[in-house]
């Protein structure tokens, strides 16, 4: 089974663990094409070669780098012709030019095709994007989506082919694991990890903490345009000494989570955005950290019964949830165990890899 995957996401070294897990499975010949870098609001994210055993990771040129809808890979057709894959896995949204371009070349060479999507809002695009999206939905062989809400979007847009709900990436439970010595008392340590933008709910968290009382500290890990406003809000509320702003490299995140008593994900839905998955949720749960999440988007589905869900934007409810966990270490331990178990059951890199390979095998199954 020859698989050619096209993925700008896999420039991130941690995400390449899934590729190693896929390559370990029987009868898998995997080649992955990535750009030399991907530009977004975080800057120019250059390729990291962190997990490259067992498969062929290759760099291919990209045009219009940083333009989410318009980028594409001009030599992709040559790569398909040279490798002759059975399946082309297009790790892109179906409305992107890169998806249309890759699908056109894959079909020319007789390969089966699939795309991946997180899109959980039924956006309506102008031509020519709408026309390209419609063509992709009619001609692709399979779709993988990250959540059930994403599946609903593509069914609403008249995709009628087979579809599977599988996260794009999982976590490595040997790296993201509970601390050897759990925290014992002391100041209640709260974490917030994400882009500092309005929809991530940082302002709601600070207002909620103003009502909590007790001995607590909050780390805000991330950067973004709302940082100055959040800092000013913390000062205005008289809690500047309890709130720390920082950024951390991905390699230090497991150790950071291990020092928390709770992670809070207070996202708010906006007309053009709602939480698509919340990778920090599964990272924290894998480390045995209870999670309080809002009701935005996929957060309740990801957390399940392994954390606490509050209505998005309800600062009083968020304050109550924080007070409840602060005063109940037994419940924190129970949620920590449930969270770790949920990750092991659903969200490891090995499981995501195995489910993805199962999709490939289904696609190549000969009709009875």
Q: Which sequence spans correspond to the domains of the chain?
A: 2-170+348-364, 188-346
pLDDT value of position 1: 96
Average pLDDT, stretch 257-269? 97
Do the domains spanning 2-170+348-364 and 188-346 agree at the CATH topology level? yes
pLDDT value of position 213: 87
Half-sphere exposure in the Cβ direction for 179 (13 Å, CA): 15
Q: Check residues 180 and 217 and name the one with the higher pLDDT.
A: 217
Is pTM beyond 0.85? Reply is yes
pLDDT value of position 366: 72
What topology is assigned to 188-346 in CATH?
Rossmann fold (3.40.50)
pLDDT value of position 368: 54
C-alpha torsion angle, residues 244, 246, 251, 255 (rounded to 10):
0
Average pLDDT, stretch 271-285? 92
pLDDT value of position 304: 93
Q: Are 63 and 74 within 8 A, CB to CB?
A: yes
* CA 100 – CA 103 distance, rounded (Å): 5
- Which CATH architecture group holds 2-170+348-364? 3-Layer(aba) Sandwich (3.40)
Q: In the beta sheet, which residues pair with residue 89? A: 5, 114
């Amino acid at each position: 089974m020859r698989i050619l995957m096209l993925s700008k996401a896999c420039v991130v070294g941690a995400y390449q663990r899934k590729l190693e897990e896929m390559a370990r499975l029987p009868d898998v010949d995997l080649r992955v094409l990535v750009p030399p870098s991907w530009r977004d609001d975080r800057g120019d994210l250059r390729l990291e070669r962190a997990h490259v055993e067992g498969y062929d990771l290759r760099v291919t040129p990209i045009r219009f780098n940083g333009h989410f809808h318009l980028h594409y890979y001009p030599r992709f057709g040559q790569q398909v012709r040279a490798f002759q894959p059975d399946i082309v896995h297009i790790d892109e949204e179906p409305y992107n030019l890169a998806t249309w371009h890759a699908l056109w070349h894959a079909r020319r060479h007789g390969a089966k095709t699939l795309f991946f999507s997180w899109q959980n809002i039924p956006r309506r695009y102008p031509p020519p994007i709408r026309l390209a999206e419609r063509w992709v939905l009619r001609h692709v062989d399979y779709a993988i989506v990250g959540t059930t809400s994403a599946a609903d979007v593509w069914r609403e847009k008249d995709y009628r082919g087979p579809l599977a709900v599988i996260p794009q990436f999982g976590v490595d439970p040997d790296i993201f694991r509970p601390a050897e010595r759990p925290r014992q008392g002391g100041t209640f340590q709260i974490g917030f990890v994400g882009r500092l933008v309005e929809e991530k709910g940082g302002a709601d968290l600070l207002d909620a903490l103003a009502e909590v009382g007790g001995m607590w500290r909050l780390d805000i890990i991330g950067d973004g345009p709302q940082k100055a406003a959040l800092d000013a809000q913390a000062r205005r509320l008289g809690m500047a000494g309890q709130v720390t702003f920082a950024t951390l490299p991905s390699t230090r995140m497991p150790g950071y989570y291990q020092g928390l008593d709770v992670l809070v994900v207070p996202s708010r839905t906006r007309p053009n955005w709602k939480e698509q998955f919340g990778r920090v949720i599964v990272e924290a749960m894998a480390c045995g950290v209870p999670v309080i999440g809002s009701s935005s988007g996929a957060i309740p589905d990801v957390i399940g019964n392994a954390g606490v869900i509050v209505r998005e934007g309800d600062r009083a409810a968020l304050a109550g949830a924080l007070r409840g966990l602060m005063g109940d270490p037994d419940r924190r331990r129970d949620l920590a165990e449930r969270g770790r178990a949920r990750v092991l059951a659903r969200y490891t890199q090995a499981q995501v890899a195995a489910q993805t390979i199962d999709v490939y095998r289904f696609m190549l199954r000969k009709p009875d």
